[in-house]
Amino acid sequence: MSIEALPLQAGETIEWSRGQATFHRGHDVHFAVTNLSACLYLQRFLRPAWVKLPLSGLISVEVTRCTWRQGLAALVPMYLMLAALAGSPLLFPYRLHGVQQVVLFGALLAVLLWMASSIRKMSGDRTYLQIRHAAGVLRYASYPDEHADEKDFDRRLILEFAAQLHARGVRVSLPDDTGPPRVA
């Protein structure tokens, strides 16, 4: 996603912009701050879109470590896929008897447990952003990823976005291990 696609009002200028375009993800994430609004390019339903929040309407920003409940929306489709695979008639096109049934079931169970542990690994150590604004609350949990360096980049990106908002007078709350907001 190009920052040039961000719709700007007359007189609105981009003051800060950072993004994460990664080939192995389903969508790109981009954050921008203009002289009038905080902008987030996020996955919304089936397609990504820019979300613009006027700076004058921002109440607070909170950045935390993602708990399993906060990131559940990203994991539900993965677990539904596992459940569908487990009960799929494609895996059991004919009736198995005795040892064949036990061996196939054991192999399937091992694959499903491996996939579940991979999903659990992807969901851990993510970053959660919550922005309170005049019209409500915007919540964003960073992308589930197996790559630790990608999760670190996402965390730095969100912390830098929060620091930019803090520099513009928005109250920001950060995790204890990050220190005060810094503008890079």
All structural domains of the chain, each given as residue ranges with its CATH number in brackets, are 3-66+124-173 (2.30.29), 77-122 (no CATH)
- Residue 134, pLDDT > 80, answer yes
Contact 158, 152 (CB under 8 A): no
The two tokens of residue 10 are 């007359």
18 in Cβ contact with 160 (< 8 Å): yes
pLDDT score recorded for residue 40: 92
Mean pLDDT of 131-156: 84
pLDDT at 39: 94
Write down the mean pLDDT value for the chain. 78
Give helix then strand counts, H and E, for the chain. Answer: 3, 8
What token pair was written down for 29?
């994430």
Side-chain half-sphere CA neighbours of 70 within 13 A: 19
Strands of 47-54's sheet in order across: 14-20, 29-34, 37-44, 47-54
CB neighbours of 34 closer than 8 A, spacing ≥ 6?
8, 12, 13, 14, 15
* pLDDT > 70: percent of the chain: 64
Mean pLDDT across 133-157: 83
Q: What is the pLDDT of residue 112?
A: 74
What residues contact residue 174 under an 8 Å CB cut-off, 6+ apart? Answer: 63, 159, 162, 180, 181
Q: Please report, as a single letter, which amino acid is at residue 112.
A: L
**Spatial distance between the Cα atoms of 159 and 128, rounded to a whole number of angstroms:** 10
Which pair of structure tokens corresponds to residue 99?
């040892």
Q: What pLDDT, on the 0 to 100 scale, is given for residue 66?
A: 74
Strand extents, DSSP E, 102-162: 127-133, 136-141
Backbone angles phi, psi at 19, to 5 degrees: -145, 175
Chain mean position to CA 61? 16
